[in-house]
Amino acid sequence: MPALKVAASILSSDFTHLGDEIKKCEDAGADMIHVDVMDGHFVPNISIGHCILEAIRPITKLPIETHLMIDNPGMYVEEFCDLGADIVSIHVECYGQLRAQCDGLGKYPKEIDVLDVERARGDVKKIQNKGKKAFMVINPGTPLCLGDLEKDIDGVLIMSVNPGFSRQKFKPEVLSKIEELRKTFDKDISIDGGVSDKTAPDSVKAGANILATASYFFGSENPSEAVRILKALG
């Protein structure tokens, strides 16, 4: 299993002092910055996008992961690469027939049963052709559906909450998906949503090696200690 890493998600940071918050991530020993991009269509919330990536790229050497919770991610992946993202994470739910209950405007969470591997591979290649890493993201209600794509991607991000907001409750039922994936996948497996000192141990035991955290990290009075606790699980 690759080395354990902590990704600090700036969704819970103080945007009035974003430069200081990035420095806080560095000083605390976070391994990467996680940027949650939401479009108000794929998820029921609108967050941040290109201009924030552009603003933080020059002020940190930490790798930046952009987690794209947007419809039609293929339209934007190259732009995120050009703006300096090191990892671009795209959702499998954008590449398959949505289940009836979530097919349409304002219906969430987005879930699929079958991935259109060829279509997803096209966008994975766009990212990799820019020299960047491509991760596929899987929502809690969507099964492991990567099939043949496993060998082409650089990592998988397993959502442990339905995407859209920070500070939600961790869904332990996704752990079996990580265990299953880890049997065949020796690259990065990230977990995102409700990660804390309480939920990280089981996540790592299941096979996750990147822990993405927003509220646990930024809500902590001692962010270095929060990172130390998580990294001690590796």
Residues numbered 133 to 162 that lie near ligand DX5 (CB under 6 A) are: 161
223 binds, among ligand DX5, Zn ion, none (CB under 5 to 8 A by kind): none
Q: How far is Cα 143 from Cα 190, in angstroms, rounded to an integer?
A: 16
Q: Is there a catalytic annotation at residue 192?
A: yes
Pick from 17, 167, 198, 205 the residue near ligand DX5 by CB under 6 A. 167
Residues β-bridged to residue 189: 156
Asked if 65 is part of the footprint of Zn ion (rule: CB under 5 A), the reply reads no
Count of Cβ atoms closer than 10 Å to residue 15 Cβ: 10
Q: Is 27 a catalytic residue?
A: no
Cα 3 to Cα 44: distance, rounded to the nearest angstrom = 33
Task: State yes or no: residue 91 binds Zn ion (CB under 5 A).
Answer: no
Whole-Å CA distances, 17 to 20, 21, 83, 95, 220: 5, 6, 21, 36, 17
- Name which of Zn ion, ligand DX5, none residue 11 binds, using a CB cut-off of 5 to 8 Å depending on partner kind: ligand DX5
Question: How far apart are the C-alpha atoms of 210 and 176, rounded to whole Å?
Answer: 16
The reply on whether position 214 binds ligand DX5 by CB under 6 A is: yes
Here's the x/- map for ligand DX5, 169-208, by CB under 6 A: it reads as -----------------------xxxx-------------
Q: Which is nearer to ligand DX5, 24 or 117 (CB)?
A: 24
